[in-house]
Amino acid sequence: MAQTRFHFIGMGIFWPIFMYWGFTRPVPRKLYTDLICDNGQDGTYIRETIRTRKPGLWSKLSKQLFDNKFNFPEMNEHIGKEFGWGIVGHRVV
């Protein structure tokens, strides 16, 4: 019975700390960045597909690419248009 008490104390202290660390740690997404930022035809196809099929997602990705100093002709910052959020449902984004 005494060991259960120590498990409860340990879980009460370490579990919230571990969960906070796990949820706030940035996830490395090098593969996705490499795919989207590819200079070849594959990268162009992926960017055009995301831009036409998921414009809400593309506006976020385009802003992130622009903030990270990437330069692609498909980006909203180079086209000069801002995507309006008024017509997008919550399932699209």
Transcribe 25-69 into DSSP letters: SPPP-HHHHHHHT-SSHHHHHHHHHHHHH-HHHHHHHHHHHHHTT
Number of domains in the chain: 1
Q: Which residue range is the domain that position 34 belongs to?
A: 28-87
* Predicted pLDDT of residue 74: 83
List, for the chain, all residue ranges whose pLDDT scores fall below the cut of 70: 1-2, 26-28, 78-93
- Residue 22 lies inside a defined structural domain of this protein: no
- Residue 61 lies inside a defined structural domain of this protein: yes
Nearest to 50 by CA among 30, 32, 67: 32
* Predicted pLDDT of residue 30: 77
What are the pLDDT digits (tens) for 57-76?
888 888 888 888 888 888 87
* Predicted pLDDT of residue 84: 53
- Residue 79 lies inside a defined structural domain of this protein: yes
Instruction: Report the C-alpha gap between 46 and 15 in whole angstroms.
Output: 40
Name residues whose C-beta falls within 8 Å of residue 78's C-beta, 6 or more positions apart in sequence.
Answer: 71, 72
- Residue 71 lies inside a defined structural domain of this protein: yes
Q: Are 76 and 59 in contact (CB under 8 A)?
A: yes
* Predicted pLDDT of residue 63: 84
- Residue 80 lies inside a defined structural domain of this protein: yes
